[in-house]
Amino acid sequence: MASIINHPATFNLGFALSRRIPSSLQYFIAEAIAEAHRLFGRKDVRLVEQNLMKVFDNDLQRARRTVPLLFRNYARYLVDYVRITSMGEKAADAITLQTRGVDHIRSALSRGKGAIICSAHLGNWELGGLLLSREKLRVSIVTLPDPNPKLTRFKSDNRKAIGIDTITLGHSKWAFVEIVSRLRRNEVVAMLIDRPVTTRSEPVSFFGHEAMFCSGPAHLARLTGAALIPSFILQDGPFRYQVISEPCVEISDRSPESASVAKVTQELAQVVERYVRENPTQWYNFTPVFSADGE
């Protein structure tokens, strides 16, 4: 989300308030700011409506009814993000987590070739690294730079405070080498795939429409043998989350690289589609997702 909500000053204010006022009041303030942004930030509202239209088979009224709930949930996500990072490593013990399928990650790491967590802008994806670090696993978040460089540094510093490394694409020509190195050390790398990355993107069918998804995980899995694990962290109330990991998506090293990458990226998109369909009010994608909307 653009402007006021995703601005370093807003996050700094949130950190200050998180130490001085109760969580119920934090949620109230954040939801009020989000509602004001929904009312006056027409560009973001239109983008969200466009994306939700595809989810709801072009039902504009349903999309419009969903937008206020989505903005409210995003406000709650930001409050939880601030609370988590302000607590540091103690945050892992303060959150109520229900887990399903986390053993898929440990099983993948037993191969000795690393694991790539494939997630989306769904729920509280920042919690994934915290959960894995609590399980004594080394985890790195691969991300694109935010439009505001200060916000990129802010998020990276706060991940570091809870034991999570950040690899920012575009900041260094060695980023790809660093990712490969960590996988070959049998570590965990997490990536969001429901937005394109300029040189590593693949067209997929998503809710029956073409969208460009990040194909980096498939290329990395093909190169290193790392396991691909779709995983999502969904809000289930204030400071309550469900952590769901799916079985490994296998990639063939026998077919041509372009074909195997396209096939696996489509399979990952289908998993994302299922979770977005079930949780549309937690899909915080404030950019055009579908190719036709970005033209």
Per DSSP, 144 falls in state P
Rounded to an integer, what distance in angstroms lies between the CA atom of residue 150 and that of residue 10? 12
* DSSP alpha helix (H) spans, 162-256: 175-184, 216-224
The token duo for 292 is 């036709």
pLDDT of residue 187: 93
pLDDT of residue 90: 66
Please count the residues of the chain. 295
**Could you list the pLDDT tens digit for every one of the 295 residues in the chain?**
545 566 666 666 666 776 778 878 888 888 898 898 888 888 889 999 999 999 999 999 999 999 999 999 998 888 888 877 777 666 666 677 778 888 999 899 999 999 999 999 999 887 777 777 677 788 888 888 776 777 778 778 777 777 788 888 876 678 889 999 999 999 999 999 998 876 688 999 999 999 999 999 999 999 999 999 999 999 887 778 888 999 999 887 767 788 899 999 999 999 999 999 999 999 999 889 998 776 5
Backbone angles phi, psi at 148, to 5 degrees: -100, 115
Q: What element of type H or E holds 130?
A: helix 127-134
pLDDT of residue 217: 94
Angle between helices 60-87 and 8-18 (to 10 degrees): 60
Q: Is the pTM of this model over 0.95?
A: no
* Residue (of 131, 68, 67, 65) closest to 94 by Cα position: 131
pLDDT of residue 57: 94
pLDDT of residue 144: 82
Question: How far does CA 182 lie from the centroid of its chain?
Answer: 20
Rounded to an integer, what distance in angstroms lies between the CA atom of residue 168 and that of residue 273? 26
CB count within 10 Å of CB 29 equals: 15
pLDDT of residue 79: 85
Q: What element of type H or E holds 85?
A: helix 60-87
The token duo for 258 is 């372009």
Question: How far does the chain reach from its first CA to its final CA, in angstroms?
Answer: 20
Q: Where are the domains of the chain?
A: 8-294
pLDDT of residue 247: 94
